[in-house]
Chains A and B, each alone.
Chain A
Amino acid sequence: MSALFCFHCGEPVTDAAPLVARIGSLHQPVCCIGCRAAAEWIGALGLQDYYRLRDATAPQVAVTSDFSAWDREQLQRLYVHRRADGNAEVSVLVEGMRCAACGWLIERALATVGGVRESGVNLGGKRLTIVWEPQIVALSVLLAAIAQFGYVPHPLDRASLDGVAAREQRSALKRLVVAGLGMMQAMMFAIVLYAGALDGIDASTRDFFRWIGLLVTIPVVFYSAQPFFAGALRELRGRRPGMDTPVALAVALVFVASAIETLRGGAAVYFDSATMFVFLLLGGRYLEMRTRHRAADIVDALARLQPAVACRRTPSGELEEVGVHELHEGDCVVVATGAAVPADGQLLGVQCRVDESLLSGESTPLRRSRGETLIAGSIVVEGPAELRVQRVGVDTALSSIIRLVERAQRQRPGWVRHADRLAAAFVFGLLVATLATGLFWLAVDPTRAFAATVAVLVVACPCAFALAVPAAMARALAVLAQRGVLVVTPDAVERLQRADYFVFDKTGTLTHRQAEVAAASASRDVPLERCLAIAAQLEAGSMHPIALALRAAAGGVAPSGAQAVETIAGGVSGLIDGERYRIGRPDFALGDGAADGEDIVLADARGELARFRVRETLRLQAQPVIAALRAAGAGIEILSGDGAARTAAVASRLGVPDWRARQSPLQKMQRLAELRAAGHIVAVVGDGVNDAPALAGADLAVAVGGGAELAHSSADVVLAGDRLESLVEARRVASLTGRIMRQNLVWAVAYNAATLPLAALGLVPPWLAAIGMSLSSLAVIANSLRIRAPAPTLGEPVLPAAPPALVQPG
């Protein structure tokens, strides 16, 4: 098979005679009709540059939905900001916006819609801000324009227009730059003083430069370093000295000592050390904050899970689109195929199928019949479903899962931060040493008391010590972010390195949510290709995973030629070229009495035509990741909410002997508690809402990107870009970071321990103390820079798996 990839979305094109999109004079292969439409539409607008600019492939085009509900006044009040000039403004989270070209394409597409005043894309946050004239164009038209390309727009509530994160980032950037400018100036003037100390300088010039140094240091200490002082104050109030205390102490001591020396014309000043120290620490914190914000941008509320609009039936029998917050108990709601259920409720229609995989991990859509309860957040795959609302808002099952998450987060083991404890001991020792030195010299030789005390302070300044952990951490976070691993809680790096037991969720984490046809065999003389085509035509209208898998296996060609298609319990039947075919479970397709099994059978009036075996698609890298973790000595277990047969199948394909099926969120939490009680440090990798409580209760929670938002919100680490294999890389970076951090701490403590006695004896002149302090900090930073991403050992992206074996009867 030649390796053809869709021009638009990059998915492999499996069909022998692929669809082509005509763009200008060129013909490009595409994988499906949706992608063809999108590619030709882009071409027709003259936006082909998109394909040149992009660096990540486009999302596959999904079925576009109706956005008219967004024009309702009740919804707009919550989501749309009316500007003073009469224009409206909305902030939209765009799912599927992955690269610069996506942003470019969306902006261009919106520019062709009349009435749009401005549109601004923030790629990092996947946000889009639109300003438009509501009299000319409706919000639903704008959303539909975005959806046309396969992006899914989710309007965000008004509060997100003016983000807390943006303010936090701006003030951090200002502090950092002030510290940087101050540091440069202070160093410049310090060089004059150093040169003067060697070559001779008259006292008035020296004092002038000291005063200038003091002047440029003041904003650094009082403005830039303010977060450290605030943090130290908080730690002191809580009587739990952490890392902010030694930092604040070091800055304050060095600054006050230097200021006093400036006033009384003493031996030396250390403004350069103080400012450099503040700048480096702020730089580390800034990086850390950026990573946190980027991760938080991906996590955005439950907006995507619980739909914002619902279709309600009025007493007179008409349908109206309303906001979900307007729903009440007893209302009658209609949910279209492919839409999410807005509230818990009883099914009024005869039957429907729902996908609860996000909520329970169950990967096959479940059949629900009249009177049974549908859960908010589940997706109707075969509908439409009409239901009577029983519970809304905080009473729904989804909300109770959220409460479980909150409970688990409270139970999360409080990790005693090693460095913090060390820091407290260190600060205490430092103060005792300083005090002892001061008292000693006051008793022996009061004239040398001040110089010796300052030397002790400067030499013992915990700068290298305070930098040891943050410098390594900042570097590790930056390296990990480059590899698509976003660390939400910084101490997760340490836990990632120490985790010795990995618990995986199945659906969505080890497998894709789509299924694939694993094997197909024709039972009679009809060619298999023909059987697949018939199957695809029968299933053309269904969103069921099996239908999607069959259509994919048939190559996506499915202009439905089937007539009188009926979806009955267990399968589908329909007329093609006048002949009636049935496809589904064996007992459905072949009539009662046939042996039931996992296979899908296609049959006509004379009996069986073909058999298909549909299985879950494993992620390409699931196997190497598990092998690599096991090689590193970690325990592996699969906890799934799905049924035993499917879980066992996936576990045996991956070679994992330990698995548990049908686990409710509560059971998962209990299992984790067991493992932890047995002394393991447990990492949970998951993506669904049903994993969220387990994630929150684990020592380390890893969410796979592209999963449910709730899973992300309780994650410590997010593998962005849906790459499971980055977990192994991240673990390697984490253990390297741990090693470097220990080296840094050992070095800092050794330096201080070696120089402190000399300084206390008055043997270290202040200028030497200052140089030593700077060098020890630089050594720590240089060492931290050695943290690099490992060369990819899992291999370059593997080519798509070989097509399923298509067997013809011999």
Chain B
Amino acid sequence: MNILFVLIPLSLVLVAMAAWAFFWSVDHQQFDDLDTPGLMPLSDDPPVRADANPKP
């Protein structure tokens, strides 16, 4: 059962990494607005810019 002494600390390291990744994403505004981004995939073409290539 000695493998436990390696695997369990390893799992704790993974948890710590997950926590760090979560902190990073919270600090980078990934969780500020959970409603709007869900809609983005529904629009399939990129926004048309008048200054780039105006479409009729």
If A122-B33, A181-B19 touch, does A170 touch B26 (CB 8 Å cutoff)?
yes
From B15, B23, B33, B55, contact of A123 by CB (8 A): B33
> For the complex, is A178 an interface residue (Cβ under 8 Å from B)?
yes
B18 touches A181 (CB 8 A): yes
Q: Mark B29-45, 1 if CB is under 8 A from A, else 0.
A: 00111011011001100
Task: Name the residue in B18, B51, B55 with the highest tally of chain A Cβ atoms < 10 Å from its Cβ.
Answer: B51
**Residues from chain A with Cβ under 8 Å of B36 in the complex:** 100, 103, 120-123
**Residues from chain A with Cβ under 8 Å of B39 in the complex:** 53, 100-101, 103-104
B18 touches A212 (CB 8 A): no
Instruction: State in angstroms the CA–CA spacing of A181 and B11 once bound together.
Output: 12
If A103-B36, A123-B36 touch, does A212 touch B48 (CB 8 Å cutoff)?
no
- Stretch from A111-119, A245-253, A519-527, A588-596 contacting the other chain: A111-119
B49 touches A173 (CB 8 A): no
From A108, A124, A173, contact of B47 by CB (8 A): A108
B26 touches A173 (CB 8 A): yes
> For the complex, is B1 an interface residue (Cβ under 8 Å from A)?
yes
- Enumerate B7-21 residues with CB–CB distance to A below 8 Å: 8, 11-12, 15, 18-19
A111 touches B48 (CB 8 A): yes
**When A and B form their complex, what is the total count of cross-chain residue pairs whose Cβ atoms lie within 8 Å?**
76
> For the complex, is A432 an interface residue (Cβ under 8 Å from B)?
no
B12 touches A124 (CB 8 A): no
If A181-B19, A212-B12 touch, does A166 touch B32 (CB 8 Å cutoff)?
yes
**Residues from chain A with Cβ under 8 Å of B49 in the complex:** 111-112, 114
- Whole-angstrom distance between the Cβ of A154 and the nearest chain B Cβ: 19
Residue in chain A with minimal CB distance to B55:
A46
Instruction: State in angstroms the CA–CA spacing of A216 and B19 once bound together.
Output: 12
A112 touches B42 (CB 8 A): no
Instruction: State in angstroms the CA–CA spacing of A212 and B27 once bound together.
Output: 28
Interface size class of A (residues with CB under 8 A): 35 or more
**Residues from chain B with Cβ under 8 Å of A124 in the complex:** 33, 35
Task: Name the residue in B1, B12, B15, B39 with the highest tally of chain A Cβ atoms < 10 Å from its Cβ.
Answer: B39
> For the complex, is A174 an interface residue (Cβ under 8 Å from B)?
yes
Residue in chain A with minimal CB distance to B44:
A49
A177 touches B43 (CB 8 A): no
**Residues from chain A with Cβ under 8 Å of B19 in the complex:** 177-178, 181
**Residues from chain A with Cβ under 8 Å of B48 in the complex:** 45-46, 111-112
**Residues from chain A with Cβ under 8 Å of B55 in the complex:** 46
> For the complex, is A74 an interface residue (Cβ under 8 Å from B)?
no
From B8, B12, B27, B42, contact of A170 by CB (8 A): B27
Instruction: State in angstroms the CA–CA spacing of A108 and B22 once bound together.
Output: 31
Instruction: State in angstroms the CA–CA spacing of A100 and B26 once bound together.
Output: 22
- Whole-angstrom distance between the Cβ of B55 and the nearest chain A Cβ: 8
From B35, B47, B50, contact of A114 by CB (8 A): B50
- Whole-angstrom distance between the Cβ of B14 and the nearest chain A Cβ: 10
> For the complex, is A107 an interface residue (Cβ under 8 Å from B)?
yes
B15 touches A185 (CB 8 A): yes
Residue in chain A with minimal CB distance to B23:
A174
> For the complex, is A256 an interface residue (Cβ under 8 Å from B)?
no
Instruction: State in angstroms the CA–CA spacing of A181 and B14 once bound together.
Output: 11
**Residues from chain B with Cβ under 8 Å of A113 in the complex:** 50
**Residues from chain B with Cβ under 8 Å of A136 in the complex:** 51
**Residues from chain B with Cβ under 8 Å of A178 in the complex:** 19
> For the complex, is A205 an interface residue (Cβ under 8 Å from B)?
yes
A216 touches B12 (CB 8 A): yes
- Whole-angstrom distance between the Cβ of B40 and the nearest chain A Cβ: 8
B42 touches A177 (CB 8 A): no
Q: Mark A166-178, 1 if CB is under 8 A from B, else 0.
A: 1001100110011
**Residues from chain B with Cβ under 8 Å of A319 in the complex:** none
> For the complex, is A208 an interface residue (Cβ under 8 Å from B)?
yes
Residue in chain B with minimal CB distance to A116:
B49
- Enumerate A427-458 residues with CB–CB distance to B below 8 Å: none
Instruction: State in angstroms the CA–CA spacing of A169 and B48 once bound together.
Output: 34
From A104, A114, A170, contact of B43 by CB (8 A): A104
Q: Mark A39-73, 1 if CB is under 8 A from B, else 0.
A: 00000011001000100000000000000000000
Instruction: State in angstroms the CA–CA spacing of A185 and B9 once bound together.
Output: 12
B35 touches A185 (CB 8 A): no
Instruction: State in angstroms the CA–CA spacing of A46 and B56 once bound together.
Output: 9
> For the complex, is A263 an interface residue (Cβ under 8 Å from B)?
no
- Whole-angstrom distance between the Cβ of A78 and the nearest chain B Cβ: 24
Residue in chain B with minimal CB distance to A136:
B51
B51 touches A115 (CB 8 A): yes
Instruction: State in angstroms the CA–CA spacing of A173 and B51 once bound together.
Output: 40
A100 touches B31 (CB 8 A): no
- Whole-angstrom distance between the Cβ of B34 and the nearest chain A Cβ: 8
- Whole-angstrom distance between the Cβ of B25 and the nearest chain A Cβ: 10
Instruction: State in angstroms the CA–CA spacing of A108 and B44 once bound together.
Output: 12
Instruction: State in angstroms the CA–CA spacing of A115 and B51 once bound together.
Output: 7
> For the complex, is A215 an interface residue (Cβ under 8 Å from B)?
yes
- Whole-angstrom distance between the Cβ of B46 and the nearest chain A Cβ: 9
**Residues from chain B with Cβ under 8 Å of A125 in the complex:** 33
- Whole-angstrom distance between the Cβ of B28 and the nearest chain A Cβ: 10
B32 touches A122 (CB 8 A): yes
From B15, B22, B43, contact of A49 by CB (8 A): B43
B5 touches A208 (CB 8 A): yes
Residue in chain A with minimal CB distance to B27:
A170
**Residues from chain B with Cβ under 8 Å of A205 in the complex:** 1, 4
**Residues from chain B with Cβ under 8 Å of A166 in the complex:** 32
Instruction: State in angstroms the CA–CA spacing of A551 and B38 once bound together.
Output: 41
Residue in chain B with minimal CB distance to A189:
B8
Residue in chain A with minimal CB distance to B40:
A104
Instruction: State in angstroms the CA–CA spacing of A166 and B27 once bound together.
Output: 10
Instruction: State in angstroms the CA–CA spacing of A45 and B45 once bound together.
Output: 13
Instruction: State in angstroms the CA–CA spacing of A757 and B47 once bound together.
Output: 70
If A114-B50, A181-B18 touch, does A170 touch B31 (CB 8 Å cutoff)?
yes
**Residues from chain A with Cβ under 8 Å of B50 in the complex:** 112-114
**Residues from chain A with Cβ under 8 Å of B43 in the complex:** 49, 104, 108
- Whole-angstrom distance between the Cβ of A225 and the nearest chain B Cβ: 16
- Whole-angstrom distance between the Cβ of B13 and the nearest chain A Cβ: 12
Residue in chain B with minimal CB distance to A108:
B47
- Enumerate A174-192 residues with CB–CB distance to B below 8 Å: 174, 177-178, 181, 185
**Residues from chain A with Cβ under 8 Å of B42 in the complex:** 49, 53, 104
Instruction: State in angstroms the CA–CA spacing of A121 and B47 once bound together.
Output: 15
Residue in chain B with minimal CB distance to A170:
B26
**Residues from chain A with Cβ under 8 Å of B35 in the complex:** 100, 123-124
**Residues from chain A with Cβ under 8 Å of B22 in the complex:** 174, 177
Contacts A45-B48, A107-B47 aside, 20 further interface pairs with beta carbons under 8 A come to A46-B55, A53-B39, A100-B39, A101-B39, A111-B48, A112-B49, A113-B50, A114-B49, A120-B33, A122-B33, A166-B32, A170-B26, A170-B27, A170-B32, A174-B22, A174-B23, A177-B22, A181-B15, A205-B4, A216-B12
Name 15 A/B residue pairs within 8 A (Cβ), A-sorted.
A46-B48, A103-B36, A104-B43, A108-B47, A111-B48, A111-B49, A112-B47, A113-B50, A123-B36, A124-B33, A125-B33, A136-B51, A170-B27, A208-B5, A212-B8
Q: Which 3 pairs between the two chains have the least Cβ-Cβ distance?
A: A111-B47, A114-B51, A123-B35
